A and B are shown apart, each in its own frame.
Chain A
Amino acid sequence: MESPAEIIPHSGGVIGVSWLMIALPLIGAAVLLLGGRRTDRWGHLLGVAMSLASFVVAVASFMELLGLDPEQRRRAYELYQFIPGVADMGILIDPLSISFALLITGVGSLIHIYSIGYMSHDPDRRRFFAYLNLFVAAMLLLVLSDNYVGLFIGWEGVGLASYLLIGFWQFKPSAAVAAKKAFIVNRVGDFGLLIAIFTVWTTFGSVAFGEVFGKAGEASQNTLTAIGLLLLLGACGKSAQLPLQSWLLDAMEGPTPVSALIHAATMVTAGVYLVVRSGAFFEAAPTAQLVVTIVGVATLLAGAIIGCAKDDIKKGLAGSTMSQIGYMMLGAGLGPVGYTFAIAHLITHGFFKANMFLGAGSVMHGMNDEVDMRKYGGLFPVMRITAITFIIGYLAIIGFPLLSGYFTKDGIIETAIEHNAILGWLAVVGAGITGFYMSRMVFMTFFGKRRWADDAHPHESPAVMTVPLIILSIGSIFLGGFLVLDNRFMQFLAPAVGRPEELPVFHFVSPAGLATLALVAVGAVFAWFRYGAAEVPRVAPRGSFLTTFARRDLYGDALNEALFMRPGQWLTRIAVFFDNRGIDGLVNGLAAAIGGTSGRLRRVQTGYVRSYALSILFGAAVVVGALLYVGNM
C-alpha cells in the first residue's frame, strides 16, 4: 500500500485565496444577522450570491489542483497564528477536502436557490439565509482546516448552525425541544472529539494533520486505539451513528431545505470525513477500525428498520440517511479502498438524498405542509417534475443498476465482504431493507389512491424549486458511475488517503451484487403489494411488535431516558435535596439561630435608661472587683 502524499506549503494562485470560500458566506451571515430588518428585501439574494461565490472559488481551486502533478496535490498554507505554540490557522487543499468543498458549496448553493422559493412566505427568510450561510462557512472551515483545532471550531460551528436551524421555528415547542436535543446529544460526541484532540496534542505535541499523521506510528497501540475510539465517538455524535443516533429523527422539525443540506447531504457526513481524515490513526489501530465498521453496520440496519415504519416522509428519509451514513461509516473502517467508496457514496448520497429531501419539501409545499404519507397517494400526475426527480433519487439510493447508488454502495458492500464476510452480508440485508422502505415511500406518496386532506390542492412547485431538483437528479444518475468506473475517484483521492496496492476492478456482475439486486427487488415487490396495490389506511394501524419497535426508533429514546436522563434526574434531585437540606439547612439554620438569638437578645434593649445604667454599674463593680483581685494576687 502506498501512503498519502506529503503536504506541501503553498502560496499564490487561486488556492492561495481559497480561504475566501469560508470568508464569503461568513460575511454574508454577518451582514444578514447584524443588518437586521434592513436586509429583509435582498437578504436571500445576498445569501445565494455568497454561496455561489464560494462555489466558484471552490471550482477554481479544484481546477488549479487538477493542473498539478498528482503527488503535489496536497497544498497547505498558514492564515494566521491562532493559539501560539499549539495551532496556527491554516487551510489544507487536497483531493479529500476539495471534494467536500465542492459538495458543500455545490449542493449548498442549489439548496440556497431552492430555499428562495420554499421560504418565500416565511417572514424570517432573511434570518434563515443568514444561518444557512453561517452553516456553509462553518462546514467549509471544518473540512478545509489543516489541523484538529480548526476542524473542531468548524465542528462546533456546524453544530450551532444545526441547532439554530432545527429550532428555526422556535415558536413550535417540538422544534425547540428537537433543537435542544440535537445540541445536547452532539455535546456528548463533541466531548469525545475534544478529548481525542487533547490526547493527540499530548501524544504528538501537535494538532496539525501533516505533523501528527506522520508520527502516527510512534505512539503506542493503546493510545492510538483510544484516540480512534474517541474520534469515533465524536463522529457518532455528528453523524447520528449508534449510540448517539437519537437526535437526527427529531431534527426533521427544521425547515426541509435544512434537512436536505445539513441533516442529509453535508453536516451529518462530517463524522465520515473525520474518520477518513484520521485514517492514519485508524489504520494503525485495527481495534478502533473494527469498531467503526461494527457501528456502521449496526446503524445501517437500525436506520433501515426505522425507515420502514415511519409515516412521516421526512422521518422516513431521516432513517434512510442514518442508514446510508452507516454504509459510509462501514466503508470508512475498511482502509483506503473503503475510504474511496465511502467518500464516493457520501458525494452521490449528498446528491440523491438532497434531491429526495427537496422533493419531499416540494410535495409538502404543495400539500399544505402535510408530512404524513398516509395522507398523500396518487401525486404523480399533479407534480410530475417532483415525482420524476424523486423517483430518480429513489432508484439511485436502492442501487438500481447504472445509477449512482449502484456503483458506490456496491463498492462498499464488495469491499466489506472481502474484509469481513458477516458484516458484508449484513450490509447486503440492509440494502434489501432499503429497497423495501424506499419503495414504500414512493408508492405511498406518488401512486395508489388519493388520500388527501379535504383542503389539499397539490400543485407543482415553481421553477426556482424544480430546477435544483433537476440538477440534483442528473447528478444522482451519472455521478456514481463517473466516480467509480476506471477508479477515477480512487486515483484522485490517492494523494490524500493513500493508494491500495492493487486497484479494485468494478464487476458489473458479482455474487454480492446479484444478491443485493435480488433482495432489493424482493423488497420493492413486497412494498408494491403492501402499499402500491393494496389500500393504505389513512390512520396507521397498530401493527406488530416489530412495527412498534421501529416506530419508536428502536426504543433509542427510551433507552437514553432510562440510562441517562432518569439517573441524571435522580442525581440532580439528590444534589438539590442535599443543597436544600444540607447546605441551605446549615446556612439557613445558622442564620435562623442568629436571628432567633438576636430576637431574644434585643429584648434586653428595653429603652429604659435606668436599666442601662444598672448594667453600667454592674460593669463598674466587676471592673473594681477585678482590679482588687489582680492587685491582691
Chain B
Amino acid sequence: MGETITFWVLAVVSVAGALGLVFSRKAVYSALMLGVVMLSLAVLYAVQDAPFLAAVQIIVYTGAVMMLFLFVLMLVGVDSADSLVETIKGQRFWAAVAGLGFAALLALGIGNVTLSPAAGLGNAVKQAGGNVPSLAQLVFTRHVFAFEVTSALLITAALGAMVLAHRERVRPKATQRDLARARFSGPQPSPLPGPGTYALHNAIDMPALLPDGTLSPKSINRVLARHDEEAGVTPTDPRKAAIVKQLLAKDVLVEDGSGGGGDEEARDDDAVHDTAREGAHDVVKDNVVRDDVTDMDVQDDAVRDDVARSGDVEEAAHREDVK
C-alpha cells in the first residue's frame, strides 16, 4: 500500500518533471526539472529494493552529472532561451506522432503481457546478506572484466574531456603593463562611472551622474534594466526612464540583428581570455569593487554586461566571421 502511494505520487511528479524538462523555455528550468525526475526515480529505485542504485542515482546523477550540466549551462549562457519557432517543417508534429506512438506501442506491449507477481529480491540478496554486498559480489566476480573496462572508459572520458576543452594559448599572457596600455589606447581610459550616486540610493540599478548633472547611460546595468522591464517596473525618475528605454531599444536592435536572443552575454563569457577584454574586465571590476557592491551575482552580471559593452565592436566583427 505504501509502495502504491509512493509510486503514484512519484509517477505524477516524474512525468510532470519530464514534461517540464521538455517544455520549459529556459535551459536552467529544464535542468532543475531533470533533477526532480532523477530524485523521483532515486526514490522509486529505493522502493524497488535497489538502495545502492538509489544512492548512486543521487550521488552520481543528481549530484555530479546535474552539477556538470548546470556548470556548462552557465558557461554557455544561462539565460539563453530557445526560440519557439520550429525551423524544420513538420518536425514537431512527426516527433509527437513518433514519440507518442512509440510510447503507445510499448505500453501496449507491456499491457499485453500478464506478469506473475514480482519475485522480489529477497532470495537473491539472502546469501550475501544485503543488496550492496550482493551487488559487490556480482561486480567483483562475474562482471569483473566489465567493471575493469568501465574504469578504462572513465579514464578515457576524463582524458577526452581535457583534450576537448583544452585551449592553446596563442599569445603570451597579458601582463599588467599590457593591460594598462590596452586601457589607455581604448576609448575609455578612466573607470566607467559607478552607479548609485543619488544621495538617497546606494543601489546598483541607479545611474550615475555626470559632472554636468545629467545621467550617464554607461552606468546603467542593462541586465537589471531588462529584468525591470520584463517585470513591468518603470523607473520613477523620468530621466532615468528615458535613458533605460533608449538603452533597451538599442539592445533589441542588437538582438534582432544577431538573431540570438540573450546569447549575446553568454558569448562574451568565452571572450574573457582575450587580452583587451581582460583589461576591460579589470577596469570594471575595479569600478564595482570601489563602490562597495558585494553581491556576487550582481557583480557577475555587471561584469558581463560591461564586457559586452566594451567589446561591442570586436563582438560584431566576430559575429560577422561566424556567419
Contacts and interface: CB of A to CB of B under 8 A. Distances in A.
B84 interface: no
A603 to B, nearest CB: 12
B94 A620 contact: no
B88 A610 contact: yes
A475 to B, nearest CB: 98
Contact of B112 (A617, A624, A625, A628): A628
Nearest to B98: A617
Interface residues of B, number: 13
Contacts of A632: 112
Interface in A583-633: 606, 608, 610-611, 614, 617-618, 620-621, 624-625, 627-628, 631-632
26 contacts: A606-B88, A608-B88, A610-B91, A611-B88, A611-B91, A614-B94, A614-B95, A614-B98, A617-B95, A617-B98, A617-B99, A617-B102, A618-B94, A620-B102, A621-B98, A621-B101, A621-B102, A621-B105, A624-B102, A624-B105, A624-B109, A625-B105, A628-B105, A628-B108, A628-B109, A632-B112
Contacts of B112: 628, 632
Nearest to A617: B98
A386 B145 CA distance: 110
A631 B112 CA distance: 10
B277 to A, nearest CB: 32
Interface string B100-113: 01100110110010
Given A610-B88, A617-B102, A624-B109, 14 more contacts: A608-B88, A610-B95, A611-B88, A611-B91, A614-B94, A614-B98, A617-B95, A617-B98, A618-B98, A624-B106, A625-B105, A627-B109, A628-B108, A628-B109
B97 to A, nearest CB: 9
Nearest to B99: A617
B108 to A, nearest CB: 7
A631 B106 CA distance: 13
B105 to A, nearest CB: 5
Q: Which of the four size classes fits the interface of chain A?
A: 10 to 19
Nearest to A624: B105
A625 to B, nearest CB: 6
Nearest to B101: A621
Interface in B51-109: 88, 91, 94-95, 98-99, 101-102, 105-106, 108-109
Contacts of A614: 91, 94-95, 98
Nearest to A615: B98
A617 B95 CA distance: 8
A632 B113 CA distance: 10
B107 to A, nearest CB: 11
Contacts of A620: 102
A617 B91 CA distance: 12
A614 B86 CA distance: 14
A23 to B, nearest CB: 80
A618 B91 CA distance: 12
A627 B108 CA distance: 12
Contacts of B106: 624
Contacts of B101: 621
Q: Which of A614, A627, A628 has the most CB of B within 10 A?
A: A614
A628 B108 CA distance: 9
Interface string B208-234: 000000000000000000000000000
Contacts of A631: 109
Nearest to B102: A621
A51 to B, nearest CB: 85
A629 to B, nearest CB: 10
Contacts of A627: 109
Interface in B97-138: 98-99, 101-102, 105-106, 108-109, 112
A617 B100 CA distance: 11
Contacts of B91: 610-611, 614
A303 B91 CA distance: 90
B86 to A, nearest CB: 10
Nearest to B105: A624
Interface string A478-497: 00000000000000000000
A479 B105 CA distance: 114
A610 B94 CA distance: 11
A224 to B, nearest CB: 87
Nearest to B95: A614
Interface string B227-248: 0000000000000000000000
Nearest to A619: B98
A632 B112 CA distance: 9
A627 to B, nearest CB: 8
Interface string B7-21: 000000000000000
Nearest to B90: A614
Contacts of B108: 628
B207 to A, nearest CB: 44
A620 B109 CA distance: 14
A330 B108 CA distance: 104
Nearest to A606: B88
A621 B100 CA distance: 10
Closest 5 CB pairs of A and B: A617-B98, A621-B102, A624-B105, A628-B109, A618-B98
Q: Choose among B98, B101, B102, B106 the residue with the greatest number of A CB atoms under 10 Å from its CB.
A: B98
Nearest to A632: B112
Interface in B128-177: none
B115 to A, nearest CB: 15
Nearest to B87: A608
Contacts of B102: 617, 620-621, 624
Contacts of B105: 621, 624-625, 628
Contacts of A617: 95, 98-99, 102
B135 to A, nearest CB: 30
A232 B98 CA distance: 86
A545 to B, nearest CB: 85
A64 to B, nearest CB: 97
A624 to B, nearest CB: 5
Contacts of B98: 614, 617-618, 621
Point out which of B88, B91, B105 has the most chain A C-beta atoms below 10 A from its C-beta. Answer: B105
B41 to A, nearest CB: 22
A628 B107 CA distance: 11
A474 to B, nearest CB: 101
Nearest to A618: B98
Contacts of B94: 614, 618
B91 to A, nearest CB: 6
B147 to A, nearest CB: 29
B260 to A, nearest CB: 18
A182 B58 CA distance: 99
A607 to B, nearest CB: 11
Contacts of A628: 105, 108-109, 112
Contacts of B109: 624, 627-628, 631
Contacts of A611: 88, 91
A610 B99 CA distance: 13
A510 B180 CA distance: 137
Nearest to B109: A628
A610 B106 CA distance: 22
B244 to A, nearest CB: 39
A574 B112 CA distance: 70
A628 B95 CA distance: 21
Contacts of B99: 617
A44 B253 CA distance: 96
A621 B101 CA distance: 7
Nearest to B113: A631
A627 B112 CA distance: 13
A568 to B, nearest CB: 61
A611 B98 CA distance: 12
B92 to A, nearest CB: 10
Contacts of A608: 88
Contacts of B88: 606, 608, 610-611
Contacts of A610: 88, 91, 95
B102 to A, nearest CB: 4
A245 to B, nearest CB: 80
A628 B109 CA distance: 6
